[in-house]
Structure 1
Amino acid sequence: METTRRSRGLRGKHESIIIHFDYDCFYASVFEAARPELKFQSLGVAQKQILVTVNYEARRRGLHKLQLISEAKKICPDVVIISGEDLTEFRNASKELYTFLRSFSWNDKVERLGFDELFLDVSDLIEHNFSLLNRNDLRNSFFCLSRTDPTTGFDFDASYVAGNTWPACSTDALLLNTSQLDALRLKLHLGSHLAQFLRKELEERKGFTSSVGIAPSKLLSKLVGNLNKPKGQTTLMPPYDLDGVAPSNITSFIDEHPIGKIPGIGCKLARKIREFILQEPIGIDDELSYGAPKKEVLVKDVRLHPNMNVETLEMLLGGPGVPRGIGEKIWGLMHGVDDTNVSKARDLPKQISIEDSYTRLDNFREALAELHMLARSLINRMHIDLLEDELEHLSPDDADVNVIQPISDSILRKKKRWLAHPKTLRLSTRPRPPLNSDGARSRTFNRISRSAPTPNFLFSLTEKTDVLVERLVTEALVPLFRKLHPEKSRWNLSLVNIAVTNMVDSASDTRNSMGRDISKMFKGQDEFFRQRRVQDRSAPPGTYTEEEVGREPTPVSDIDRAVPVAHRGSEDILPLSQDSTVSRDDDEWLFDGNTVYKNLTFVCDTCGATMPTFAMLAHCRWHLEE
């Protein structure tokens, strides 16, 4: 009863089917994809003197991530160490995999989580294929991957779940009377087969393996996907509801997780909760032992604690800088409730961030050198992620070595264009705390930051990179650094980060842009109208030949002669009837090209409407269609 009372009101949305992809050993796999022979060797990716990740062969031989290189070489002397300081290759590989998986999405709900994780909301794709299922022959089903082509897809057996399930179910149990399978369970069957297909495509086409979770929310799909690594997938099966009658698989699944392993509950919040449950203080140094807390507290220990409820969590976790309602949010996460949607796919990043960590950075000369290095990486990354090629029309007189090909009397040249402009430049550092009285130093993960408007010169495409780097450091980053650390010494930094944020998409013709690109409209209008301009090839001004109109020449009235042929329009010329009248306003003049003429007004002899002469043809056609 107590559990039911506490859980009342907790309801998650269970209509969605979310697939979470976690690329196996992503950083090592980037190098293995480029050099396949490395897959059969012990491989470690290093930053500074630490292995940030190792491949599966290295793990089999006793190596693990966050291990000193010197220690790794003692265990495995033939380990291949590759520097992972430059993140460019990892960024490019992550973007390529993201684009590949996005191509299978119908609703464009594809969200990256770091370099090596991705959420895919396939609810609409599953719903469509669910409507196509033949309940009487689930074993011979076809999964359609295209809205327009019903033959694009793959055959599968919808009577069972592909891969693993939680809780584990035998094949015989899954293949019971298929006519009794409810809609939710069948949709999960479909989601599991789609995930299996995408995993195989990812491995065969891109050379990356992945671990996958299938569940009705981002929180649950991420957690359940961790159960069968590497190269495995797991589906969280119903029942899901917290109705107090049947046990919820969601609650049972979440209960066995350490409180600090739940996405959305960071290390600080988890530490406060553990201190409350264990009734003893836990320091950061005492808390970690090989990456895991020495005294673990499971979700069920917190959820079923006699003094634990929403109000207690709010009081325990709230405070300055903490959003209101934190207790209700964490209470919901402990019950597996996560109603956040998968974000819409973005062609551009929300921010570009470059950072590096240090064993000791305690003087301005070294800090200045690091700022130069980070600034160069940031500018290079901005040029890769935020610039696109476009073609520019030039006259022959303006042509240069970048000419591609002549078109009519103009020339095309390739140039660069900014897709977005970040409005904010941010500098962050992580100072080490001073030594304690016993000579030890407390560990901290706190960062301090300062921001400023992004300087306009950063978007220059004519200045050399060296010039931009120097200006960025001296005019923007150094002033921010001085605000963070006004003293010249007595600080020791373990991390420096620079980032550009607050992206504003440039104007373009895409649906996600902030507006139309008017510069392109002006540049292209001359070529557009050139193709539609009436050329007077043989007849004198004011007349048309029989070959041009395909009939007897129409006498040209005095009114028509007042308007040059080139300005009469490119299609049918509507002759004015004898009853039509034209009014001239001596105060209005039109200028077109090198010709100046008075603004002519047409008066319709049918309805009496007055309009400019360029509208008379359409107006008369409207009368004919009435």
Structure 2
Amino acid sequence: MGKRIILAIDFDAFYCGVEEKRDPTLVGVPFIVYQKDCIATLSYPARELGLHKLGSVAAAVRAHPHVRLVNGESLAPYREQGKQLWSFVRAALPGCTVERLGLEEMWIDVTALVESNLAALIDADVLFKGISEEVADGLDQGVRLSLTTTAAPEATAGREEFNYSDNEENSVAAPLEMSFLCEDFFFQTPAHVFPASHGATMPAFLQTESTDPDEFYLDFKLYIASHIARELMLRISLGLGYSCSVGVATNKTLAKMVGSLHKPGGLTVLVSSAVQEFMAACHVRKVPYFGAKSRHILQDAMGHDTDRDGDLRVESVLSRYDRPEFVKLYPPGQGDKLWALLQGEDNAPVRETSRVQKQVSIEDTYRELTSIPRAEQALQPLLESLLRQLRIDMIDDDGAWLGFPTVLRLAVRVATGPSTLSNRVSHSHTLTSFAPFYLLPELETNNELTKLAERMRHSLIVPMLHKLCVGQGFRLTGPGPIYFQLLNVAATGVVAHKPVITSAAVKPAPVGPVRSAKPTRPSKKLDFYFTRK
């Protein structure tokens, strides 16, 4: 199996980019997006002041009173924009597999697209005429590169056309142009090249000491991919107004790592022969999947302490251990994976992200939530946020469900003291026993949504909260210390087809003795409840 060509996209200071679109006066000024007293992210002008993520907002304001503050407690606008960006990229590169990582990162497998362009260039008999140092007349006008492959019609079934306009009333949906004129194709890649000594001009980029033609064509594919990546970055900037950084490499891990070298707005391509050189220069903490626990194991084994973590580079690890010795440091299976990553090897495929999410979850943390009644009230805004997010993620533009959540889950962290560590515990309840939930697409006002959230809170969430508290040894009434550290509500158990309302939802069980036996009513489909009277 040949090497794949992967693009890794990371949108620069994404939360800040969203806020700048909402309030253009923020562009070019230092500002902080905060959640409680924590800096969630900050603009690049704010970073130039020496401020950092996860720092204290109060401390930042004391040091720099002119820094503007933006409340980022609600993730709804960021999730909405993240979904829009993902839709845009899928529409811009039909036929390519796009995998989302969080809200603002994506991997794109452009292997088939690049190979299709390479074959077209060879067929047109213009490819090797432009490789020489002296570009022939007529070739300096560039070439037209395609953004779609021959597999695109089948692969793009169900992909939406994209609308450039922010004004929905005056806009007309139209497909993006599926090719572009690459004027500098025969001159140089528009990207930073690692290693820089390799050269960015076409002849220099394609130089290789190997006599294997596959090595030559692999670099040619990376070269073509860099031009496609630049065009994609330009379309994202012009069409949606976001800046992003992109890495181009032969696997997901390398693309993600090399893409971080020239942020913000940088495009970096890793030459195939320079993988070992690139990895050797990296710090272990920059390698995906090397979390704090994995690094601590390595630090202890190598005699490093936390203060000397800056010395823990891939080169020093590889010079200290061979594979069998390294693998013994970790549980079975984990060591092999980490060792491969240190070598720059990653066989994980880019997996198409489903249009329908597996769950939608909303949570918040607390310091002064010290009673069950207060927790009951705190659940109301969480449920409202959950319903709003469901409208973004689970309901299409025509008001139809993309997928049907069937389970409502509540998770809490509750302790006997403000500093006591506690585990997350959860309880679930079926949503198919609460028919009003499935009327969410029909709600037209915020007041209707608030009322639905209130009904769900009283009917479903509060009973679950009481069960969790009792299960953790807390009394529902009376004195006793109780500290809620976290509340989370989630809609899960998503199914593709409309579920059936349970019998219990049609007629609640009677309270008290049963006077007469009645036949059980059959289950009714949700269409029965969707009908307006």
The answer to whether TM tops 0.5 is: yes
* CA deviation after TM superposition for structure 1 residue 56, in Å: 1.4
* CA deviation after TM superposition for structure 1 residue 431, in Å: 6.4
Alignment partner of 1:136 is 2:128: yes
Q: Over the residues paired in the alignment, what is the CA RMSD in angstroms?
A: 3.4
Instruction: Name 1:154's counterpart in structure 2.
Output: 181
Distance (whole Å) between structure 1 residues aligned to residue 128 and residue 326 of structure 2: 52
Alpha-carbon contact 2:410-2:461 (below 8 Å) kept: no
Q: Deviations over 1:218-255 (max 9, x none)?
A: 1111100010011111111121xxxxxxxxx2232223
Distance (whole Å) between structure 2 residues aligned to residue 338 and residue 184 of structure 1: 17
Distance (whole Å) between structure 1 residues aligned to residue 184 and residue 207 of structure 2: 14
Distance (whole Å) between structure 1 residues aligned to residue 99 and residue 375 of structure 2: 35
* CA deviation after TM superposition for structure 1 residue 100, in Å: 0.6
Instruction: Name 2:330's counterpart in structure 1.
Output: 317
Alignment partner of 1:460 is 2:438: yes
Q: Deviations over 1:441-490 (max 9, x none)?
A: 79x8x85343535332173317833212332312334434544x333565
Q: TM-score, normalised by structure 2?
A: 0.74
Spell out the pairing of 1:44-193 with structure 2 (5 A cutoff): 44-133=32-121, 134-138=126-130, 140-147=142-149, 152-159=179-186, 160-169=188-197, 171=199, 174-176=202-204, 182-193=216-227
Alignment partner of 1:370 is 2:375: no
Aligned residues: 440
Q: Deviations over 1:59-90 (max 9, x none)?
A: 22333322322222233222211100111111
* Unaligned residue ranges in structure 2 (runs of 5+): 131-139, 151-175, 209-214, 441-450, 500-524, 527-533
Alpha-carbon contact 2:11-2:245 (below 8 Å) kept: yes
Spell out the pairing of 1:536-547 with structure 2 (5 A cutoff): none
Distance (whole Å) between structure 1 residues aligned to residue 299 and residue 482 of structure 2: 32
SS at match of 1:98: helix
Distance (whole Å) between structure 1 residues aligned to residue 401 and residue 493 of structure 2: 15
Distance (whole Å) between structure 2 residues aligned to residue 277 and residue 263 of structure 1: 20
Instruction: Name 2:265's counterpart in structure 1.
Output: 231
State, as a whole percentage, how many aligned pairs show the same letter: 28
Q: TM-score, normalised by structure 1?
A: 0.63
Hey, which of these two has a bigger chunk of strand by percent?
A: 1
* CA deviation after TM superposition for structure 1 residue 297, in Å: 1.9
Instruction: Name 1:450's counterpart in structure 2.
Output: 426
Q: Which has the larger radius of gyration?
A: 1
Instruction: Name 2:520's counterpart in structure 1.
Output: none
Q: Which is bigger in relative contact order (C-alpha 8 A, separation at least 6)?
A: 2
SS at match of 1:304: helix
Distance (whole Å) between structure 2 residues aligned to residue 328 and residue 250 of structure 1: 19
Alpha-carbon contact 1:422-1:454 (below 8 Å) kept: no
Instruction: Name 1:501's counterpart in structure 2.
Output: 492
* Unaligned residue ranges in structure 1 (runs of 5+): 1-12, 240-248, 281-286, 319-323, 391-415, 436-440, 509-518, 521-626
Q: Deviations over 1:297-338 (max 9, x none)?
A: 2223333324x634653x5432xxxxx512211221221221
Distance (whole Å) between structure 2 residues aligned to residue 389 and residue 193 of structure 1: 34
Distance 1:151 1:464, change over 3 A: closer
Give the partner amino acid of 1:337: E
State which drifts further: 263-272 or 358-367: 358-367
SS at match of 1:505: coil
Q: Deviations over 1:28-67 (max 9, x none)?
A: 1101122222112222111112221111122223333223
Distance (whole Å) between structure 2 residues aligned to residue 452 and residue 193 of structure 1: 49
Alignment partner of 1:211 is 2:245: yes
Alignment partner of 1:329 is 2:337: yes
Distance (whole Å) between structure 2 residues aligned to residue 169 and residue 447 of structure 1: 52
Distance (whole Å) between structure 2 residues aligned to residue 144 and residue 480 of structure 1: 56
Q: Deviations over 1:68-115 (max 9, x none)?
A: 222222332222111001111111111111111111223351111111
Distance (whole Å) between structure 2 residues aligned to residue 504 and residue 300 of structure 1: 48
Q: Deviations over 1:179-216 (max 9, x none)?
A: 97811111001111111111111111111101110111
Distance 1:183 1:377, change over 3 A: same
